[in-house]
A and B are shown apart, each in its own frame.
Chain A
Amino acid sequence: MMQSAAVRQLVLLLPALGVIVLLIGVPLGLMGWVSLLEKSASAGVDWQASPGAGNYLRLVWEEDFDGRMILNPTYLVIFLRSVLQAAVTTLLCLVLGLPVALWMAGLTRTGRMVMLLLVTIPFWTNLLVRNYAWLIILREDGWTTAVLNRLWPFGPVQLLYNDAAVAIGLTYSFLPFMILPLYSVFEKFDWRLIEAALDLGATRRRALRRVVLPLALPGIVAGSLLVFIPCLGAFVTPALLGGGKTAMLGNVIQAQFGPARNWPFGAAVSIVLLAIMLAVMTAMALWRSRRAPR
């Protein structure tokens, strides 16, 4: 009996695990292998090449125009910028998302449902369309720029095609990822703890800082991960709102698999992106387990 139940479970799981392993696991493994190969003469992948770390070394060193091997800061800068841009976005999402989640949790049941729907809807609409909407709003000949130029006395402002525009677009794209995990923490929150804190003479501000925030930590960590990781690989937002002046990791990967046609190098960049992601997740998990109440 036990045997057959286990077999049945396995059979039911097989399609799902099969699809995920074959169409996500195997491709990622293949990419790891390709990242060690070289591109063939006519671009594409030279499958016969002996594997080596050349593509990874290229990320850091290069032959200078005068023939010496020098440290190449280009990709390091792109990595750093991507991480920084993702971190800024995560922080913005936290600052905006925490009050919303906290406020939502204090509403009536109907109010909570309505807010939940309102917060979720933008997330499900097309990423491209959402960024396109910002393109329209921030354009030079748009009314936003016109209004700001009236109010801002120090010369004309430019809203589009810079890192700030990318940060706005990314925040807009991923804000729901921060609000939802935070809300799920506050929804189960034991509000009597606040009462206790207030009874003991704490101000609301202090109660917020000393009671609410520490207990919201799991939600903050989960939300930050959910925002940070997709930001790292963002392609559409920097492409549309960044004006092509500054590249992020996602754009480098797209360029290598598209116009530059160096797939093995693109694979190496992708693997490094996955490694950064894994490192951040591990760091978060370790930090959490250390902070967790014993």
Chain B
Amino acid sequence: MNLRRFPVMREISIAVLVFLYVPVIVLTVYSFNANRTATVWTHASFDWYLRILANPSIRAATWNSIVLAGTSATAATLIALLAALATRRAFPGRDTTETLLRLPLILPEIVVAVATLLLFVSLGVSLGLGAMIAAHTAFCIPFAYLPIRARLDGMSGSYEEAAQDLYADRFRTFRRVTMPLLWPGVMAGFTLAFVTSLDDFLTSFFLSGPGTTTLPVYIFSAIRAGITPEINAISTVMLVISILLVSLSFFLGQLRR
């Protein structure tokens, strides 16, 4: 008799999994639908994927999204790495510091987005990629910080002590011992920050300027203009990219310490 088993928990769990994945599957299936009306099935086809490849607006939006996510995630990861190293040992005010670092996770995104808009407008900063990168970097920090901290917490300090006993200086110890051990955490953090930025809609929506429409902003306006099979296809592409990246980050996080 397994102590951890309770009646109907398994059935409910399976139902929840179905609930979580049915929309994803429906969307994917419909993206291969040849019919012009998005919800009427005729036969399978790759037409919509070819159409989105040929659509210059989607190509430009994809490029914008990649540049934005790549830059913001890189900046956020570097900043978060430094912060994680600093908060490794306890010090007075560490709890407050950590709360501050997690702030973007707790605050409603729409409030932060409009507040940032107010700041940029009052400073006379023109909206566009620069403004978007700054804002994305800020809210990506906790997503990069948490996996790096988790990795650091799981690392024993003994390797570093050994290195210092062998007269390696601080920088050398960091480069040759800490960093290689920390690397999976850093990559996991980068990936999560990248996905977070890639998926963001609200902040980009308020801060976008000329020629900086990102994929989610494009998808939003496309849904407003009309539900088409192209949206199904581009949404499916975004789903697949996110799933691949998150799985990657997950396995990096599970790497043997």
Verify that A and B bind, or say they do not.
Answer: yes
A residues at B contact (CB < 8 Å):
6, 8-10, 12-13, 15-17, 19-21, 23-28, 30-31, 34, 44-45, 47, 96-97, 99-100, 102-106, 113, 116-122, 124-130, 132-137, 139, 141-142, 172, 175, 191-192, 194-195, 198, 204-205, 208, 229-230, 232-233, 235-236, 240, 250, 253-254, 257, 263, 266-267, 270, 273-274, 277
Check A120 against B250 for contact (C-beta < 8 Å).
yes
Q: Is the CB of B26 within 8 A of A133?
A: yes
B114 and A257 contacting across the interface, CB-CB below 8 Å? yes
Alpha-carbon distance A277/B141, docked complex (angstroms): 22
> A208–B220 Cα gap in the complex (Å)?
44
30 example contacts (A-B, Cβ-Cβ < 8 A) are as follows: A12-B82, A15-B82, A16-B101, A17-B83, A19-B79, A24-B112, A31-B115, A44-B121, A99-B6, A102-B6, A103-B12, A103-B13, A106-B5, A122-B20, A124-B195, A126-B198, A129-B27, A132-B231, A135-B227, A136-B38, A172-B19, A175-B19, A229-B106, A230-B109, A232-B108, A235-B202, A236-B202, A253-B114, A257-B117, A277-B108
| Segment of B44-52, B132-140, B155-163, B182-190 engaged in the interface with chain A | B132-140
Do B22 and A137 touch (CB < 8 A)? yes
Q: Within 8 Å CB of B231, what residues of A?
A: 132
Across the interface, B242 reaches (CB within 8 A) one of A106, A124, A194, namely A124
Known: A12-B85, A31-B115. A124 touches B246 (CB 8 A): yes
The verdict on B179 contacting chain A, using a C-beta distance below 8 Å, is no
Known A100-B13, A136-B39; contact A31-B199, beta-carbon cutoff 8 A: no
Q: Is A126 in contact with B242, judged by CB distance below 8 angstroms?
A: yes
A134 CA to B26 CA, complexed, in Å: 9
Main DSSP-derived SS at the A contact region: helix
Q: In the bound complex, do residue A23 and residue B116 qualify as a contact, i.e. CB atoms below 8 Å apart?
A: yes
Report how many residues on chain B are interfacial, defined by Cβ distance under 8 Å: 86
- Nearest residue, chain B, Cβ from A141: B39
What residues of B have a CB within 8 angstroms of the CB of A263 in the complex?
118
Which residues from chain A contact B110 at a C-beta distance below 8 Å?
Answer: 233, 235, 250, 253-254, 270
A132 → chain B, closest Cβ, in Å?
A: 6
Please report whether the interface of chain B is mostly helix, strand, loop or mixed according to DSSP.
helix
CA distance A251 to B101 in the complex (A): 27
The answer to whether A136 touches B227, judged by C-beta atoms less than 8 angstroms apart, is: yes
- CB distance A126 to B238 under 8 Å? yes
A136 to chain B, nearest CB (A): 6
In addition to A13-B83, A24-B138, A126-B242, 17 A-B residue pairs with Cβ atoms within 8 Å of each other are A6-B91, A13-B87, A17-B97, A28-B112, A103-B6, A124-B199, A127-B201, A133-B24, A175-B16, A175-B19, A195-B3, A204-B6, A230-B108, A257-B206, A267-B115, A273-B108, A274-B111
| Chain B residues near A99 (CB-CB < 8 A) | 6, 8-9, 12-13, 16
The answer to whether the Cβ of B53 comes within 8 Å of any Cβ in the partner chain is no
A125 to B191, CA, bound (A): 13
Q: Is the CB of A175 within 8 A of B20?
A: yes
Given contacts A26-B119, A27-B112, A191-B4, contact A130 B103 (CB under 8 A): no
Is B118 within 8 A of A125, CB to CB? no
Within the complex, which residue of B21, B80, B115, B227 is in contact with A27, where a contact is CB–CB below 8 Å?
Answer: B115
Residue in chain B with minimal CB distance to A106: B4
Which of B3, B111, B220, B254 has its CB near the most chain A CB atoms (within 10 A)? B111
Residue B32 at the chain A interface, CB threshold 8 Å: no
B91 to chain A, nearest CB (A): 6
Query: B239, A129: Cβ atoms under 8 Å?
Result: yes
